[in-house]
């Protein structure tokens, strides 16, 4: 029986990947065409420099492309930036916004993240909006209130389950090999689900909530099997087709 909402496994390559890395994307395509991810939706978010060439190798296949950030404006004098319309034109259908590496490294506020998500939706891209608490916030018992604040501040009220995905990524779990306990993940996802219901009404049950932070083949089954966990946002383990498919393969 296929799951509702449809699970989504997204690979975030961050600032990794040269043209040679396209081989991994070709291998992922083959694996997904061979039903190795079952009915799950699979997307890869390579660096912007690879989107056009990745789109060429993925054309007509089951894997969609995402980007890792966009500018809130559609165009103009913003040296070095890339707009959502440009990403769409290059072949992307998703864009990650509000990743903690951008919130922390570039001081991105909830309001900015929301304007980026709105720009993405406007351009016809689905936004994957990242939220998550720091270690200190979790230890202070503030994880749920921090994430709730980010959700209220970063999600466009006009978004729909078709153009919005939420990724819960505890900052301290990203790239560290550490993960929250299963019950902490389940509790956080339940509270995000409740909040999505407040914001979007009945549609809130269909907005996908991904877990991200040190997801790997060895922990994917437990983490992604939890209630209200509709897939994963994967960093390090998405760079190699074998690892990535070891995660997505739980849906086969
Ligand atoms: P990680 O990164 O899987 O390497 O922990 C996840 C992310 O930052 O999206």
Cα 149 to Cα 120: distance, rounded to the nearest angstrom: 21
What is residue 148's predicted lDDT score, i.e. its pLDDT? 98
Cα 226 to Cα 7: distance, rounded to the nearest angstrom: 12
What is residue 190's predicted lDDT score, i.e. its pLDDT? 98
Atom nearest to 96 CA in ligand 1: 9
**Which among 99, 101, 118, 137 is annotated as catalytic?**
99
Whether the pLDDT of residue 1 is over 70: the answer is no
Q: Count other Cβ atoms within 10 Å, centred on residue 109.
A: 12
Distance 114 CA to ligand 1 centre (A): 21
Atom nearest to 14 CA in ligand 1: 8
The reply to whether 99 belongs to the active site is: yes
Cα 182 to Cα 192: distance, rounded to the nearest angstrom: 15
Average pLDDT in the 242-252 region? 98
> Does any domain span residue 2?
no
What is residue 111's predicted lDDT score, i.e. its pLDDT? 98
> Does any domain span residue 158?
yes
CATH of the domain at 197: 3.20.20.70
What is residue 137's predicted lDDT score, i.e. its pLDDT? 97
> Does any domain span residue 122?
yes
Residue 227 gets which letter from DSSP? T
- Testing ligand 1's pocket by substitution, the residue of 104, 213, 244 carrying the most ligand atoms inside 8 A of its CB is 213
Task: Tell me the backbone φ, ψ of residue 184, rounded to 5 degrees.
Answer: -65, -40
Q: Is residue 3 very low, low, confident or very high in pLDDT (cuts 50, 70, 90)?
A: confident
Contact between residue 223 and residue 186 where contact means Cβ atoms under 8 Å apart: no
> Does any domain span residue 102?
yes
Average pLDDT in the 152-170 region? 98
Q: pLDDT tens across 9-53, in order?
A: 999 999 999 999 999 999 999 999 999 999 999 999 999 999 999
The protein residue whose alpha carbon is closest to atom 1 in ligand 1 is 235
Q: Average pLDDT, whole number, for the chain? A: 97
Q: Is residue 88 very low, low, confident or very high in pLDDT (cuts 50, 70, 90)?
A: very high
> Does any domain span residue 246?
no
Is the minimum distance from the CB of 66 to ligand 1 under 6 angstroms?
no
pTM here?
0.98
> Does any domain span residue 173?
yes
What is residue 235's predicted lDDT score, i.e. its pLDDT? 98
> Does any domain span residue 138?
yes
Domain carrying residue 104: 64-69+81-215+226-236
Domain count, the chain: 1
> Does any domain span residue 95?
yes
* Assigned token pair, 65: 């492309």
Whether the pLDDT of residue 57 is over 70: the answer is yes
Q: pLDDT tens across 175-218, in order?
A: 999 999 999 999 999 999 999 999 999 999 999 999 999 999 99
Residue 4 gets which letter from DSSP? S
Distance 24 CA to ligand 1 centre (A): 18
* Longest Cα separation, the chain: 50
Cα 27 to Cα 9: distance, rounded to the nearest angstrom: 16
Contact between residue 13 and residue 51 where contact means Cβ atoms under 8 Å apart: no
Is the minimum distance from the CB of 177 to ligand 1 under 6 angstroms?
no
Contacts of 89 (CB under 8 A, 6+ apart): none
What is residue 82's predicted lDDT score, i.e. its pLDDT? 98
What is residue 4's predicted lDDT score, i.e. its pLDDT? 87
% of the chain residues with pLDDT over 70: 99
The reply to whether 169 belongs to the active site is: yes
Distance 77 CA to ligand 1 centre (A): 32
- Testing ligand 1's pocket by substitution, the residue of 212, 218, 232, 243 carrying the most ligand atoms inside 8 A of its CB is 212
């Amino acid at each position: 029986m296929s799951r509702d909402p449809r699970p989504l496994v997204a690979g975030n390559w961050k600032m990794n990947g040269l043209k040679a890395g396209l081989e991994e994307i070709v291998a992922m395509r083959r694996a997904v065409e061979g039903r190795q991810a079952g009915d799950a939706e699979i997307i890869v978010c390579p660096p912007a420099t690879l989107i056009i060439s990745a789109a060429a190798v993925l054309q007509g296949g089951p894997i969609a492309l995402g980007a890792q950030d966009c500018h809130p404006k559609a165009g103009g004098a913003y040296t070095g930036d890339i707009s959502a319309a440009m990403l769409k034109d290059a072949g992307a259908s998703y864009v990650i916004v509000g990743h903690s590496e951008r919130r922390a490294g570039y001081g991105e506020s909830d309001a900015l993240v929301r304007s980026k998500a709105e720009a993405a939706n406007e351009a016809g891209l689905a936004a994957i909006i990242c939220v998550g608490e720091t270690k200190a916030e979790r230890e202070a018992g503030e994880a749920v209130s921090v994430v709730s604040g980010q959700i209220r501040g970063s999600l466009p009220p006009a978004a729909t389950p078709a153009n919005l995905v939420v990724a819960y990524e505890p900052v301290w779990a990203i790239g560290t090999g550490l993960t929250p306990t299963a019950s902490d993940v389940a509790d956080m996802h339940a509270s995000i689900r409740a909040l999505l219901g407040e914001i979007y009404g009945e549609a809130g049950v269909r907005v996908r909530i991904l877990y991200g932070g040190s997801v790997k083949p060895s922990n994917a089954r437990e983490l992604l099997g939890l209630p209200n966990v509709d897939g994963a946002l994967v960093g390090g383990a998405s760079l190699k087709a074998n690892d990535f498919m070891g995660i997505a393969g739980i849906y086969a």
